[in-house]
Chain A
Amino acid sequence: MSGGPTAATEPLLRVRGLDKHFGPVQALYQVDLDLPSGQVTALCGDNGAGKSVLTKCISGVYQPDHGQVFWEGQPVHIRTTRDASRLGIETVYQDLALCDNLDIVQNMFLGRERLRRELLDEDNMERAAAETLASLRVTTVRSIRQPVASLSGGQRQSVAVAKAVMWNSKLVIMDEPTAALGVNQTRMVLDLLTRLRDRGLAVMVISHNLNDVFEVADRIAILYLGRMVIQDKASSLDRQRVVEYMTTGGKGMKAAS
């Protein structure tokens, strides 16, 4: 870990030697992970491999037992989700965490409302929300003042992503973004992911769906029973090898980037 990395090669987020256990269960062993800007990194692994735990350690929900996290080259301690937001890390959970009874604008600004003379500045928020949605080319919603309850699954995912990128975030983590979606809506979300990458954000996607992974991921990281078994460019991996790493850990093959 010593030796100053140069700015050009330094990934936005670098995790080194992360350990996490819950009681007697060791969830993560010495996990290393790099998340570079302007790239989509897919985090794969079978059920119970530790994907969620690793995600939650990065987003401040859990505290790792050992190991270091570097943000833009600096060591950081992410103790709460607030800390993560302050750094520019936003997580879109699988359940999206939207309030059905509030409209799109209200959801996007929930917890960070803009005020004018102590009252909510609805005009300002509506304009900003519209700009963000337009910049992500989320145009299928009829009105940004419609309640989230009336949106389709893909539209809800888009709103959750827009909510995440609204705050000048640099890293967006998405947990199974296409799990519950149909073909068209999956397309819509994957396009959205590519647009985030093109904007220069670092994106980490947790996914089981290898079609999606190979379609959008620039890099693939695979966890097997709490260990990071491989991290590599998507182009140097193929579907069969990924499945092998996910199910057997690559037959004991040691791999690290």
Chain B
Amino acid sequence: MARPVEIPPDPTEAVEAAKAEVPPELVAQSLGEYVRAWIVRMRGGEIGVLPVVFGLVAIMVVFEIISPNHVFLSPGNLVNLFEQSSVYMVLAMAETFALLLGEIDLSIGFVGACGAVITVQLVQPVTTNWPWWAAILAGLAFCAAVGLIQGTIIARLGIPSFIVTLGGFLIFNGVMLILLLLGPFSGYPNLTSASSNVQVLFNLMSGTIDPTISWIVMAVVLLGLGGLMWFGDQRRRRSGLVAPPASLTLIKIGLIAAAGFTVVAISNINRANFGTLAGVPWVVAIVLGVLAIWTVLLERTKYGRYVYAIGGNPEAARRAGINVAMVRTIAFGLCSMTAGIGILLYASYIGGMSNNVQGGQFVLFAVAAAVIGGASLFGGRGKMIHGVLGGLVVGGIYNGMYLQSLDVQRIFIVTGLVLLAAVTLDAVSRRGRASSALGAGR
């Protein structure tokens, strides 16, 4: 229930002006009110994930119509699309940590690549032959350490993140090339060994979860998530706290359930030309796992609250007693570590690492994906889910144009245009917000 507006001493004040800004779920008592409030809010410049969802639908419709034999929405291509997008999704989630602080990390492509090369080198049976999990931990630890060092330079010495990570971009491009030359493959360490230990890494991307188990896991996750949402909102409604109407909670749960069913159903259709290939790819579970953990960190812990606070007003955060330098340093560590996961997925996708890794392009696509998804370049606004949705858009464009056999130049141009559109939307909606806040102050 929303806080009632009781006998305001001066009823003329601000209430009208503030209306456009208030998240609709806070004041709406019923679904109808909610929808109306939502429309008002969108006119006021608060747009949320709606543009990116529309964008996704548009991409699907357009490419399905123009793709040869309408393969874009075929189960095989959809799973492939998700696998391709997963790298962008995870990298966009990584970049979100920097964007939330109002910073940027240009180095994540090559830092992540260094981590992935380390992992791939360490599992080689003829040399170190580390167990896969230890090799992954070593690669991610390397990434996290690099991020912490860059973060320390940015936060303690006050050097702009753009410059520090530009240096990191060049340094770790070089480091990656050196690391690649180590080991038996001289430049092209790969994951094509028969060793089951190495196969685990190969299967991060293309390995599938058994269809039956996929259904069971999805049901358990949905029941858990839905239960948490329903009983959480129910409890808040009962104790008179701000909560959305019950029908809205149900709709949200329904949408999540529908998405889950669709993904599992599509993945469980046999998508092989010969034989059987069905089941949810492991990468889906990995991306959702990263999403879940980072979402909890950002929205349910003190640390996450401080990240948003620093992105919104660093001086206020400092006066509130928050160790601003520490929070920023850790954010860069988490950013680089998450990037390590992203490029590891890429290594799994192409079956090894080589000097073909486009570290710079990865960074740009990661920033693009996060911003297209709805994170702000100016700090303080954005969620992990934005990175995932934006990654799907970038991956969707890439995949769809690839199916058209369009060359890479055109793909770059289209992705760039979509990014420009997203940033313009961000800037324009900010201006809308600023002017309505000014109006409220009058």
Residues in A neighbouring B7, C-beta threshold 8 A: 139
From 119 to 166 in chain A, residues with beta carbon under 8 angstroms from any chain B beta carbon are 119-120, 123, 126-127, 130, 139-147, 149-155
Q: Whole-angstrom distance from the CB of B52 to the nearest CB of chain A?
A: 19
Type the 1/0 row for A94-119, where 1 means its CB is closer than 8 Å to any CB of B: 01011111100010001111010011
> Quick check: A101 and B239 within 8 Å, CB to CB?
no
From B17, B19, B235, B313, residue with most partner A Cβ within 10 Å: B313
Determine whether B6 belongs to the interface, using a CB cutoff of 8 Å to chain A: yes
Of A2-10, A180-188, A227-235, the one with at least 4 CB within 8 A of chain B: A180-188
Determine whether B8 belongs to the interface, using a CB cutoff of 8 Å to chain A: yes
- A188 nearest CB neighbor, chain B only: B9
Residues in A neighbouring B82, C-beta threshold 8 A: none
Residues in B neighbouring A115, C-beta threshold 8 A: 302
Type the 1/0 row for B377-420, where 1 means its CB is closer than 8 Å to any CB of A: 00011000000000000000000000000000000000000000
Type the 1/0 row for A172-199, where 1 means its CB is closer than 8 Å to any CB of B: 0000000010101101100100000000
Determine whether B357 belongs to the interface, using a CB cutoff of 8 Å to chain A: no
Cα-based distance from A191 to B320 in the complex (angstroms):
26
- A85 nearest CB neighbor, chain B only: B321
> Quick check: B13 and A120 within 8 Å, CB to CB?
no
Residues in B neighbouring A149, C-beta threshold 8 A: 21, 433, 437
Determine whether B440 belongs to the interface, using a CB cutoff of 8 Å to chain A: yes
Type the 1/0 row for A210-233, where 1 means its CB is closer than 8 Å to any CB of B: 000000000000000000000000
> Quick check: A146 and B23 within 8 Å, CB to CB?
yes
Q: For chain A, which range describes its interface: under 10, 10 to 19, 20 to 34, or 35 or more residues?
A: 35 or more
> Quick check: B301 and A118 within 8 Å, CB to CB?
yes
> Quick check: A99 and B317 within 8 Å, CB to CB?
yes
Determine whether B36 belongs to the interface, using a CB cutoff of 8 Å to chain A: no
Cα-based distance from A143 to B236 in the complex (angstroms):
14
Q: Whole-angstrom distance from the CB of B400 to the nearest CB of chain A?
A: 34
> Quick check: B3 and A141 within 8 Å, CB to CB?
yes
Cα-based distance from A139 to B2 in the complex (angstroms):
12
Residues in A neighbouring B322, C-beta threshold 8 A: 110-111
Determine whether A82 belongs to the interface, using a CB cutoff of 8 Å to chain B: yes
Determine whether B315 belongs to the interface, using a CB cutoff of 8 Å to chain A: yes
**How many residues of chain B are within 8 Å of chain A by beta carbon?**
51
Residues in B neighbouring A93, C-beta threshold 8 A: 319
> Quick check: A97 and B14 within 8 Å, CB to CB?
no
Determine whether A81 belongs to the interface, using a CB cutoff of 8 Å to chain B: yes
Of B283-291, B304-312, B339-347, the one with at least 4 CB within 8 A of chain A: B304-312
Residues in A neighbouring B10, C-beta threshold 8 A: 140, 184-185, 187-188
Cα-based distance from A106 to B236 in the complex (angstroms):
17
Q: Whole-angstrom distance from the CB of B442 to the nearest CB of chain A?
A: 7
Q: Whole-angstrom distance from the CB of B421 to the nearest CB of chain A?
A: 23
Cα-based distance from A153 to B8 in the complex (angstroms):
15
Q: Whole-angstrom distance from the CB of A53 to the nearest CB of chain B?
A: 18
Residues in A neighbouring B242, C-beta threshold 8 A: 126, 143-145
> Quick check: A127 and B433 within 8 Å, CB to CB?
no
> Quick check: B441 and A140 within 8 Å, CB to CB?
no
> Quick check: A150 and B18 within 8 Å, CB to CB?
yes
Determine whether B62 belongs to the interface, using a CB cutoff of 8 Å to chain A: no
Determine whether B15 belongs to the interface, using a CB cutoff of 8 Å to chain A: yes
> Quick check: B13 and A152 within 8 Å, CB to CB?
yes
Cα-based distance from A93 to B381 in the complex (angstroms):
25
Q: Whole-angstrom distance from the CB of A250 to the nearest CB of chain B?
A: 36
Cα-based distance from A139 to B7 in the complex (angstroms):
7
> Quick check: B3 and A97 within 8 Å, CB to CB?
no
- B11 nearest CB neighbor, chain A only: A140
Cα-based distance from A85 to B319 in the complex (angstroms):
11
Query: A120 is contacted by which of B6, B9, B305 (Cβ under 8 Å)?
Result: B305
> Quick check: A120 and B300 within 8 Å, CB to CB?
yes
> Quick check: A119 and B381 within 8 Å, CB to CB?
no
Query: A187 is contacted by which of B9, B12, B14, B296 (Cβ under 8 Å)?
Result: B9
- A110 nearest CB neighbor, chain B only: B320
Residues in A neighbouring B296, C-beta threshold 8 A: 119
Q: Whole-angstrom distance from the CB of A16 to the nearest CB of chain B?
A: 28
Q: Whole-angstrom distance from the CB of B43 to the nearest CB of chain A?
A: 14
> Quick check: A146 and B313 within 8 Å, CB to CB?
no
> Quick check: A146 and B316 within 8 Å, CB to CB?
no
Q: Whole-angstrom distance from the CB of A218 to the nearest CB of chain B?
A: 22
> Quick check: A99 and B14 within 8 Å, CB to CB?
no
Cα-based distance from A139 to B319 in the complex (angstroms):
27
- A143 nearest CB neighbor, chain B only: B26
> Quick check: A155 and B14 within 8 Å, CB to CB?
yes
> Quick check: B14 and A140 within 8 Å, CB to CB?
yes
From 24 to 38 in chain B, residues with beta carbon under 8 angstroms from any chain A beta carbon are 26-27
- B1 nearest CB neighbor, chain A only: A143
- B299 nearest CB neighbor, chain A only: A120
Determine whether B200 belongs to the interface, using a CB cutoff of 8 Å to chain A: no
Determine whether B50 belongs to the interface, using a CB cutoff of 8 Å to chain A: no
Residues in B neighbouring A151, C-beta threshold 8 A: 14, 18, 440
> Quick check: A142 and B321 within 8 Å, CB to CB?
no
Cα-based distance from A168 to B316 in the complex (angstroms):
20
Task: Name 22 A/B residue pairs within 8 A (Cβ), A-sorted.
Answer: A99-B312, A99-B317, A100-B313, A106-B305, A110-B309, A111-B320, A118-B301, A119-B300, A120-B301, A139-B5, A140-B15, A142-B19, A142-B22, A145-B242, A146-B26, A147-B21, A150-B21, A151-B440, A152-B440, A182-B442, A184-B9, A184-B10
The 3 closest A-B pairs by CB, nearest first: A150-B21, A111-B320, A152-B14
Which residues of A are interface residues toward B (Cβ below 8 A)? Answer: 81-82, 85, 93, 95, 97-102, 106, 110-113, 115, 118-120, 123, 126-127, 130, 139-147, 149-155, 180, 182, 184-185, 187-188, 191
Apart from A143-B2, A188-B10: 20 A-B pairs, beta carbons within 8 A: A97-B315, A99-B308, A100-B437, A102-B308, A102-B309, A102-B312, A111-B317, A113-B305, A126-B241, A130-B3, A139-B8, A140-B14, A141-B3, A145-B242, A146-B23, A149-B433, A150-B20, A184-B9, A185-B13, A188-B13
